């Protein structure tokens, strides 16, 4: 998505911390999230809500894959794709050389 500028990590951490601090001052969590988003100038309260949920998963307070686990899965998927490409190349090469071995030798 063009035009999106990621927020700095410090701002994400501050927003999550602020929601925890002001939660008791509001009727529900989402109202606190909206207030923090407005105070920090974050375009959408949904952004802060997602940061909060991610922080809760990372802290073990909510079920789900942690940021570290997601990164590991992504790296493993990339490695699997790379190994599959290499395997296809090796299969093609072995088929080529097997065909060459089955041909009678050329005489000059």
**pLDDT digit of tens for each residue in the chain (108 aa)?**
455 668 999 999 999 999 999 999 999 999 999 999 999 999 899 999 999 999 999 999 999 999 999 999 999 999 999 999 999 999 999 998 888 777 776 766
- Let me know whether 56 and 72 are in one domain: no
Examine residue 87 and state whether it is found in any structural domain, yes or no: yes
Q: How far apart are CA 75 and CA 90, in angstroms?
A: 23
Secondary structure (3-state) at 56: helix
- Let me know whether 77 and 34 are in one domain: no
Residue 12: domain span: 7-64
Structure tokens at 20: 């925890």
Examine residue 108 and state whether it is found in any structural domain, yes or no: no
- Let me know whether 30 and 46 are in one domain: yes
- Let me know whether 73 and 28 are in one domain: no
pTM, 2 dp: 0.70
Q: Which residue has the tokens 């911390």?
A: 17
């Amino acid at each position: 998505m063009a035009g999106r500028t990621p927020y700095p990590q410090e701002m994400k951490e501050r927003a999550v911390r602020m929601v925890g601090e002001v939660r008791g001052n509001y009727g529900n969590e989402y109202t606190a999230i909206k207030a923090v988003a407005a105070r920090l100038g974050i375009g959408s309260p949904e952004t802060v809500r997602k940061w909060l949920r991610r922080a809760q998963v990372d802290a073990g307070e909510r079920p789900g894959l942690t940021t570290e686990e997601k990164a590991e899965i992504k790296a493993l998927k990339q490695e699997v794709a790379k190994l599959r490409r290499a395997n296809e190349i090796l299969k093609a090469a072995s088929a080529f050389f097997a065909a060459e071995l089955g041909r009678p030798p050329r005489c000059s």
